Structure 1
Amino acid sequence: MYSGCIDIGGTFTDLVLHDRERGLEIFKSPTTPGEFEKGFINVLGVAADSRGLSLRDFLGRMDLLVHGTTVSTNALVEGKVAAAGLICNAGHPDILTLRESPRKRAFNVKIDFPAPFIARSRTCEVKGRIDAMGNEIEPLKTADVVAAVKHLKKCRVQAIAVCLLWSIVNPAHERKVREIIAKEWPEIPVTLSHELNPIPREYRRTISTAINAALFPIVSAYTGKLTAALKQEGFKNELLIANCVGGMMPPDEIIRRPIYSVMSGPTLAPIAGMHLTTDENVIVVDMGGTTFDVSALRSRRLVVTSEATFGMEMLGIPKIDVRSVGAGGGSIAWVDPGGLLHVGPQSASARPGPACYGLGGTEPTVTDANVVLGIIDPDYYLGGKIRLDRAKAEAAIGKIAKRLKLSLKEAAYAIYTTSNHNMIAAIEDITINEGIDPRDSYVVSGGGATACHIGEMARLMGIKRFMVPKFAAGLSAFGGLISDVRWEEAGTHHTTGRDFDLAKVNALLAELTKRGKAFLKRARFPAEKQRFEFAFQGRYLYQSWDIEVPFEMSGGKLQKSDIATLVAAFHQMHERIYTIKDEADTVEFTTWKVRAIGDTGGAQRTGSRLSTQSGRARPKSEREIFLGRAGELRVPVYAGEALMAGATVAGPAIVEQPTTTLLLLDGQVATTNASGDFLVEAAPV
C-alpha cells in the first residue's frame, strides 16, 4: 500500500510517496496552470510508471493521499475571486474600507489606499443590534434582510458573507439572517462570522468572512473536479486537503471553510522541519519555482500569526507564520531605467518557464543564471529526465549582460547574488525584525533550487549549520505526508488574571473540545487516535494587541491552581517575543482555542536507513563553475545517491541529486546522515 502527498508549485508538481517496501521517493511533473488537476493526475502517473502499474491499479493501492493546494492563494493574489456580497449592521458598511491600522508599512506614503475587498455596491446594511454583553437592544429587521438578498441577487453574487456586531457572544441575529437567506435564495452559499472566526476584532472577523465567501465557489469547484478525476481513475479512499494551521482536513470541511486552504502548501514545510531535526529553534526555507518561503520553529513549536496578509489585506484568521517573496528559480531578472538589477517578483512560472526549458520562454531567470554559472548541469536536470538548453540560457542572460556592460558569467553571478539577497531579506524579516538572531537557529533548506544558494546565504548571514534534506525538493509534500489531521476551534470570553472566571472558561473549553471531537468523528478518527492542544490569546491591561500562548490542561478542565500558571506562561511568552515582561501588570485573556488532532500515523512514514560509508567519498566528475570574485573554479561533482551514512564532502564542491543540486563553498563540509540528509557545517570565515 502507498501513501502520498502532492504539493503544486509554481513550476513543478511534487509527489512524495511512501512505499512500505521501498520507503520514501519523490516524483515531479510540470505544473499545469489553469488546470491544476491535470498536473496532479500526471505526477501520479509518473509514480505509477515507476512501479510498472497502470494509474488505476496504482491508485487502487493508495490508502492515503494528501494535497497542498495553491488554488485559493492564486485566486487572492491575482484578484480572481468570486463576487461576494456582505450583510452587516446598519451604520457599519465601511468596515472593509476603513480597515485596521497596520503596524507594518504604516508610514509608507507611496501606497495608494486600496479598494475594499467587497465593493460598497455589494454591501447591504440591516437594522438590529446586539450589545457587547450579548443583549438584544434592537430586534433584527427581517424586511432589511429580504431587501438585501433581492439586491445581491441583482448583483449576481456567488456567495454571501454575514458579519454582525457582537455575534461572537450572541449569534442569534446572524443565524436568523441565514434562515431568511435560505428561504429567499436557497442555493447561495452563506458564511457566518461567528462560526468561521469568533474573535472580537471587527475588521479581522469581517475580512476573513468576506474572503471565505469569495473563495467558496472557487475551492468548491476545484475540489469537486479533483475528487471526481481521482474517482474516475480508480482512487477509492478519501483525499485530504492541507490547511494553513499545519494539518489536513477532509474535502467537505475545506469546502465549508476554504479560507483555511490559503497558503496551505508552504505551511507544511515547518512540519517537515520539526520532523527532520531535534533543534529547539529552526529556520525553514523553501525556494520553489515562483516564491521563496520562510518559516520558523521556536522552542520546537510552530509559530502561529493572526496578522497574515496578502497584498494590502489581512487574512484575519490564525495561520502558521510563513513569509514569502518572489524569489524562485523561475524569477525573472530585469534592469530598471536607472540601471539597477532586480530579480522578481515576476516569474516565468511553469509556462513558458525559464529560457533553458526550451518551452518558449525568453526572459532571463535564476535557473538560467545557475546553468550559465555551471552550478546546474543541463544534462542532469531531474536526473537527466529533462535536458536544459544552455544556449537559450546564455541568450537570455546575454540581455542583462549587454544592459549592465558585464561579461555573460558576471551578469549571471549578479543575478545569482541579487536573488540571494532577496531571500536573505525574507529570512531577516522573520528573525532579526522579530528580535531573533538567525545565527542562533538551525536552518533546514528545502525546495529544488535552494541548495544552489544556501551556501552563500549562510556565509553572508554568519549561519554555521544548515541541513539539505534528501527530499529537499519536496519538503512541503513531505511535511504533508507526515502531518496529522488538524482543526482549530476558537471562542471568546474576556477575563483577567485578577478575577479569572474559571467556570465560564471551563464551559467554553468544554464546548470547543466537543466541537473538535465532532470534527474528528466526521473525519473518522477513533478516540485512541485523537488528541487536543490548548491555547489562549492574551495581553496586558489596555494593550491593543494579543499574543498567543499554548497551555496544558489535564483532567479536561482548568483548576484554580492553574490560573497562576497561565499568567506566568503569558509573561514568559511576552518576554520571548518583545524581550520585556511586567509581572506586576494585569493579564487579560480574550480568546480561547482548542486544536483537534487526528493521528494519521505519519511518524511511521520514514525512508530507508542508509548503510555506513566505506572509505572516502569519491567524485563522479569535475565541473567548471564561476563564483564572482573567486573566478573560475574547477570543482569535484559527487553523486548524492551514491553517498552513504557518514560520508563527508568538503567544499568547494557540488553534490548532485536527481531533484536538487547542493553547492558547497570553501570551508563548508557536508556529512550524510542515516536518512540521506546532508548536514552542513561551516568553518568561521
Structure 2
Amino acid sequence: MPIVAVDVGGTFTDLAAVDADSGELRFSKSLSTPPEFERGALDCLAKAGIAPRSVNILRHGTTVVINTLLERKGAKTALVTTAGFRDILEIGRGNRPEAFNILYERLPPFVPRIDRHEVPERIDSRGNVLQPLDLDALAGIAERLRNDGIEAVAVCLLNAWCNPRHEIESAAYLRANLSCPVSCSHEISREFREYERTSTTVLNAYVAPKVASYVARFEGALRGSGFGGHLYLMGSNGGVLTEEDTHLRPLLLVESGPVGGVAGTIEIGARTGLKKLIAFDMGGTTTKSALIEDGEASVSPLYWVAGYDRGYPVQAAVLDIVEIGIGGGSIAAVNELGAPEVGPRSAGAVPGPASYGRGGDQPTITDANLLLGRLDAEHFFGGTMPLRRDLAKAALARLGDRLRQPVMALAAGIVQIATLNMASAVRRVSIERGYDPRDFVMVAFGGAGPLHAAAVAQEIGMQQVIIPPNPGHFSAYGMLFADFRYDLTGTIASPLKDMDLEKAERKFRELEAEGARQLASIGLPFKSLRYTRYAEMRYQRQEYTIKVRLPAQCGDRDEWRRLFEVSYQRRYGHASKDVAVDVVMLRVVIDGVSARPQEKIKVRTEGAVRKPSQRPVWFEDTGMAACRVWQRSDLLVGQRIEGPAVVEEEASTTVLPPGSSAQMDHLGNIVIAVGRRS
C-alpha cells in the first residue's frame, strides 16, 4: 500500500508517493484550489493514478494556519486571564524595535480589549495558591461570552506554567458551559514569560475553529473518495503530528508548509554524507531558507508571526526558517518612490502569472523568465500547461512604459531584483546566525528553486548547489522521511553555579518519559526513539537565551559552561569567561524514528550520450546567448555539463550560468560546481 504526502502551497499542490512493497515512486502536481484545497489533493491523487482507498498513510503539509493569521480571518476570540493582566497583549515587552520611527505602531491584538476578561485568582512563581479561583466570577464571564457570540476562548492565568490547577478548573467549567473551543496556556507551553505565553494561547484559540473545519473538510473529502488510512499533518518543529495533536494545539501547524523540504534536505545529507546544508525552496508564492548542520535543522523556541518588529510571538518550537515573499508568481510593480519592486504580492494560482492565460494581467517572475528564454513555453508543467509568451510580453510592456524601460531590460531587472532578495534570505539564516554560507552546500528545490539557485549561490559566494530528483515535488517527497517529534520544556531559572544537577537530571527524565508516553499513544511501531537534550542559557542580566545542546547525561557545571561559551562565541563572535551564567529552561526533543521508505532510484548508468537542443537564454554576464538545453532524463551518471546550460524536467528547470558546471551523481542529484561571476 502506498504512503502518500501532499504539500498544499499558495500556487501549486504537490504529491509524492512511495509504494511500501515495491519502492516505486510517483509524483504529481496540480494548481491549488482555494478555498477548497482538498480538490487539489484529489486532483494530484488522480493524476498519479492512486486510488484513495489504496492509501495506508497520508501526510499533509498546509499553510492554513499562517494564512489565517496573516489575513486575520480567524475566529472571534476572547481572553480569560488573571485579574490585573487584561492589557498584557498591548503592553507586551515595552520595547521599541524601530527606535527612530516616530510613526511606529505595533499590529493590533487579535483580541480587542472589550473581549478580554479578568477572573480573580492568583498563583505565585513557585506554584503556591495565593488566592483561590473565583468560580462565581467565571460563571459571569461565561455568560458574557455566550451573549457576545464568542467563537473561541483563550485561558492564560498568571504562573500557570508551574501550576496549572486554576487553568484546569477554568477550562473544565468553560468547556462544560460553552459550545466553542477553549485553549489553555499550559496545554501549549510550559514556559514562563507571561506576554509570550498569552500571545501564544490567543493565537492558538484564534485559529482553532478554522483548522478544525479545514482538517474535517480535507479528511472528509478523502474519506468520501474511499480513503481508509491514517491522516497525519506536518508540524512546525519538523516532525509529524496526529490529528489529535492539531485539534488541541493547531498553532503547531504555523509553519507546516515548508517542513517537508527541510526533512528532505536532511535525508539528502544522510545519503551524501554532507554535514552542512542550506535548504533553498522557491515556489510560486514564497522563498524559504533553512540551515541544517550535522543532520539537524535549526529550531527556534520563539517564532514571530508577521515579523519581530510589529508581529506576535509564538512560544513554541518552530523550524528556524527565513521566508520572503518572492516566488514564481511574485508581481513586479512600481513602489511609492517610483522604483521597481518584486513581491511580496503574488498572482497565486488564480489568476496566476499573465503567461498562464487565466486572466492575470500583471507581470511576474515567471513571465520574466519566459521572455528571457529560461523557461520553455511549450514544455512548462510537463507540457500540460503551455505558457503564453505574448501575454507575458504585454504585461511587462505596460510596466515598462511606466518605468521607461524596454521589455527585455525590465525582465532582466526583475530576475536580478529577485536574486538579490533571495540571497538576503540565505544570509539571514546563515550569517545572522553566526555561520559562513561558504562552508555550506545549497540544496535547491521547489518549482522555481533550480531556476535561480546557482545565481543566488554566486551572489553569496557558495560553491556548490545540489538539485535533487523531482525538485518541483521535493517538499512533498521530504514529508515521506519526517519522523514523529515532540518538543517538551521545563522552566528552571537558576544560576548555573547554584543549579541542582540531580534535580535537572530528574526533570530531563520526566520530560523524556512524557514524550515517550505521547509517542506510545500514536500506536505505530517505531524503529527507535531518539532523545536530545538542550538548555536555554544566558549570561546574567541578559534577557534572551541561546539554545545549547547537552550530552545524554547532565555531567558537571564546567561542561555546561563550556558548551554555552562555544555556542555563544559562534553566534556573537565573543564569549566572557568571567560573567556568571543562568540556566533558564530545559528542553527535550524526542523523535519516534520510523523505518525509511525503500525507494527505487532511477538513473541512466549506460547508453549513448544524447544531444541537447539549443535556444537563446539570458544570463547576467552575457545577456542573450545561445545555450544548450538538456532533458534531465537523458543525463548519464557522471556526465559533465558545462555552463551556460539549461536542464529541463517535468515540474522544474535548472539554469547553469557561464563558468559553472554540473554532474549527475549515483543518487540522481544534479551537483553544480558554481563558477565565479565574471
What is the TM-score of this pair, normalised by structure 1?
0.94
Deviates more, 1:250-259 or 1:20-29: 20-29
Any conservation in 2 of the 1:159–1:217 contact (CA below 8 Å)? Answer: yes
- Partner residue in 2 for 1:492: 491
Amino acid at match of 1:542: R
- Partner residue in 2 for 1:289: 284
- Partner residue in 2 for 1:2: 2
Matched, 1:585 2:579: yes
- Partner residue in 2 for 1:318: 317
- Partner residue in 2 for 1:26: 27
Change (3 A) 1:205 1:572: same
Query: 1:320: how far off?
Result: 0.6
Matched, 1:262 2:254: yes
Distance 1:456 1:290 in 2: 19
Matched, 1:237 2:229: yes
User: Number of aligned pairs?
Assistant: 669
Other structure's SS at 1:422 match = helix
Deviates more, 1:527-536 or 1:274-283: 527-536
Amino acid at match of 1:253: D
Amino acid at match of 2:349: A
Deviates more, 1:503-512 or 1:285-294: 503-512
Other structure's SS at 2:386 match = coil
Matched, 1:43 2:35: no
Amino acid at match of 1:383: G
Q: How does 1:152-551 map to 2 (within 5 A)?
A: 152-185=145-178, 187-277=179-269, 278-311=273-306, 312-526=311-525, 529-551=528-550
Change (3 A) 1:552 1:418: same
Query: Quick one: percent identity of the two aligned structures?
Result: 32
Distance 1:177 1:527 in 2: 37
Query: 1:504: how far off?
Result: 2.9
Tell me which stretches of 4 or more aligned residues in structure 1 moved more than 6 Å.
Answer: none
Amino acid at match of 1:588: D
Distance 2:91 2:440 in 1: 39
- Partner residue in 1 for 2:671: 679
Deviates more, 1:201-210 or 1:421-430: 421-430
Deviates more, 1:269-278 or 1:63-72: 269-278
Query: 1:203: how far off?
Result: 1.1
Any conservation in 2 of the 1:68–1:241 contact (CA below 8 Å)? Answer: yes
Change (3 A) 1:103 1:684: farther
Distance 2:576 2:446 in 1: 42
Amino acid at match of 2:32: T
Query: 1:384: how far off?
Result: 0.8
- Partner residue in 2 for 1:52: none
- Partner residue in 2 for 1:98: 91
Query: 1:194: how far off?
Result: 1.6
From 594, 614, 631, give the equivalent of 1:639.
631
Distance 1:525 1:101 in 2: 46
Distance 1:81 1:111 in 2: 25
From 591, 595, 598, give the equivalent of 2:592.
598
Q: Deviations over 1:60-83 (max 9, x none)?
A: 332221100111111011111111
From 80, 85, 103, give the equivalent of 2:73.
80
Distance 2:93 2:606 in 1: 58
Distance 2:379 2:458 in 1: 27
Q: Deviations over 1:335-375 (max 9, x none)?
A: 13543100111000010101111111111010011111111
CA RMSD of aligned residues (A): 1.9
Distance 1:76 1:375 in 2: 35
Q: How does 1:58-69 map to 2 (within 5 A)?
A: 58-69=51-62
Query: 1:179: how far off?
Result: 2.4
Q: Deviations over 1:224-253 (max 9, x none)?
A: 111122122122211110000001111121
Distance 1:106 1:684 in 2: 39
Q: Deviations over 1:41-72 (max 9, x none)?
A: 11111111xxxxxx5xx223322211001111
Other structure's SS at 2:534 match = strand
Other structure's SS at 1:453 match = helix
Query: 1:107: how far off?
Result: 4.7
Change (3 A) 1:595 1:647: same
Distance 2:327 2:95 in 1: 28
Any conservation in 2 of the 1:639–1:657 contact (CA below 8 Å)? Answer: yes
Amino acid at match of 1:459: Q
Distance 1:283 1:99 in 2: 33
Other structure's SS at 2:85 match = coil
Other structure's SS at 1:498 match = helix
Change (3 A) 1:91 1:286: same
Distance 2:264 2:377 in 1: 29
Deviates more, 1:269-278 or 1:364-373: 269-278
Amino acid at match of 1:422: N
Other structure's SS at 2:222 match = helix
Any conservation in 1 of the 2:7–2:62 contact (CA below 8 Å)? Answer: yes
Distance 2:255 2:101 in 1: 26
Distance 2:458 2:540 in 1: 43
Distance 1:658 1:103 in 2: 48
Unaligned segments of structure 2, at least 5 residues: none
Distance 2:101 2:291 in 1: 27
Query: 1:628: how far off?
Result: 4.8
Unaligned segments of structure 1, at least 5 residues: 49-54
Query: 1:379: how far off?
Result: 0.4
Q: How does 1:600-615 map to 2 (within 5 A)?
A: 600-602=594-596, 604-614=597-607
From 559, 571, 574, give the equivalent of 1:565.
559
Matched, 1:120 2:90: no
Any conservation in 1 of the 2:329–2:347 contact (CA below 8 Å)? Answer: yes
Deviates more, 1:648-657 or 1:228-237: 228-237
Query: 1:609: how far off?
Result: 4.9
Any conservation in 1 of the 2:631–2:647 contact (CA below 8 Å)? Answer: yes
Amino acid at match of 2:659: G
Query: 1:110: how far off?
Result: 4.4
Any conservation in 2 of the 1:12–1:350 contact (CA below 8 Å)? Answer: yes
Distance 2:562 2:181 in 1: 44
Amino acid at match of 1:63: N
Distance 2:105 2:172 in 1: 39
Amino acid at match of 1:581: A
Amino acid at match of 1:139: P
Change (3 A) 1:668 1:105: farther
Other structure's SS at 2:56 match = strand
Deviates more, 1:292-301 or 1:561-570: 561-570
Q: Deviations over 1:123-169 (max 9, x none)?
A: 00111111111112222222221122122222211111111111111
Query: 1:578: how far off?
Result: 1.5
Query: 1:105: how far off?
Result: 4.5
Q: How does 1:129-140 map to 2 (within 5 A)?
A: 129-140=122-133
Amino acid at match of 2:641: V
Change (3 A) 1:361 1:641: same
Distance 2:641 2:472 in 1: 20
Q: Deviations over 1:534-579 (max 9, x none)?
A: 222121222211111222325xxx4xx4444333222222222122
Distance 2:198 2:330 in 1: 34
